[in-house]
Amino acid sequence: MADDRDGQRIDNFLVGQLKGVPKSLIYRILRTGQVRVNGKRAKPDSRLAGGDEVRIPPVRVAEPGQVPPPSRGLTERIGDAVIYEDRDFLVLSKPAGIAAHGGSGVSHGAIELLRALRPKDTLELVHRLDRDTSGVLVLARRRAALTGLQELIRENRTTKQYLCLLQGQLPRAALSVNVPLRKSILQGGERMVRVDDTGKPSLTHFKTIDRYALASLVEATLETGRTHQIRVHSQHLGHPIAGDDKYGDAEFNKLLRPHGLRRLFLHAKHFGFELGGRSYAFSAPLASDLAAVLDHLPPAALSRR
């Protein structure tokens, strides 16, 4: 070992030498005595001296840019989230915190996890959900199913409904927002959407399901499928979605934290369509973490005391 490593901990030395190897594997080979310094077993906190001879067992090192395989816990979690499958489609009740696909700092999204879990299956994403959005996510198992459903989506011939918790009370129990949306990329790569007359036509129907002292549980039905459509349309109404750190109200979000809200309160509850002479209707119950928030919210009656 070179003298410039004198005094370095063996675990830190191995991290530098075994680039691309997960730290969990490095600590495993240390704990099991597979790493030796001058012929003796090394402990994770052992420190090296100039001239030490370090023996490292054969370890598979990822190539530059290669993503290590997902953990077993993640693949099992996504496997447990499957709510329907046939020869054409596989449907998830996607947990929040898992992206639809990898990229932008995310190693494994739902599609990569399912491909790892089912390496013999052919799976393609039909549509996407934001990472913090839970609920129905549809994947295709055959090319014809993929292209057929994507055409229905482009033609706005599907039914997509979401549950969201909006700030305050809507002026009417049912109302629609029909304003165009335009997508832009800010410096640094952040994607933002805003109401803009030069944008694409966008239509959302809102229906109040339940009222609370601070907020309303609302069903949002999409007539179009623009990026961040519900989030921006609710912001345009003056009733942004709870937990939205991009389009929401920071003070409102802060008020909901003691009630257990830790993420965007948006859940894809229903996705329906007709294809090939068959009718499909996929539904996912409100995610348990969001249901717990509702259980802790004071009812609307308290606001009138």
Q: What are phi and psi of 26, to 5 degrees?
A: -60, -45
For residues 231 and 239, give the distance between their C-alpha atoms in angstroms, rounded to a whole number.
Answer: 10
Enter the tokens of residue 221: 């039905």
Query: Taking the model in full, what pTM does it have?
Result: 0.76
Work out the average pLDDT over 61-67: 56
- Closest to 136 in 3D by CA, of 91, 171, 106, 173: 91
For residues 186 and 184, give the distance between their C-alpha atoms in angstroms, rounded to a whole number.
Answer: 6
- Closest to 70 in 3D by CA, of 93, 99, 27: 99
Enter the tokens of residue 222: 């999409």
For residue 5, what pLDDT band results from cuts at 50, 70 and 90? low
CATH number belonging to the domain at 69-155, selected among 3.40.30.10, 3.30.565.10, 3.40.50.10470, 3.30.2350.10: 3.30.2350.10
In angstroms, how far apart are the furthest CA atoms of the chain?
Answer: 77
CATH number belonging to the domain at 158-305, selected among 3.40.50.300, 3.30.2350.10, 3.30.70.580, 2.60.40.10: 3.30.2350.10
For residue 80, what pLDDT band results from cuts at 50, 70 and 90? very high
- Is the confidence at residue 106, as pLDDT, over 50? yes
- Is the confidence at residue 175, as pLDDT, over 70? yes
Q: What are phi and psi of 291, to 5 degrees?
A: -60, -35
Mean pLDDT estimate for the chain: 89
Highest mean pLDDT range out of 27-41, 67-81, 192-206? 192-206
What are the tens digits of pLDDT across the range 256-297? 999 999 999 999 999 999 999 999 999 999 999 999 999 999
Residues of the chain with CATH 3.30.2350.10: 69-155, 158-305
Q: Which residue has the higher pLDDT, 111 or 191?
A: 111
- Is the confidence at residue 305, as pLDDT, over 60? no
- Residues annotated catalytic, as ranges: 130
Give the pLDDT score at 278: 95
CA angle 267, 80, 126 (to 5 degrees): 55
What are the tens digits of pLDDT across the range 112-136? 899 889 988 889 999 999 999 999 9
* DSSP notation for 258-295: GGT--S--EEEEEEEEEETTEEEEEE-PPPHHHHHHHH
Residues of the chain with CATH 3.10.290.10: 3-55
Q: Which residue has the higher pLDDT, 272 or 30?
A: 272
Work out the average pLDDT over 183-207: 87
Q: Any idea how long the chain is?
A: 305
Q: Which CATH class is domain 3-55?
A: alpha beta
Give the pLDDT score at 20: 65
Q: Which of 49-58, 89-98, 205-214 has the lowest mean pLDDT?
A: 49-58
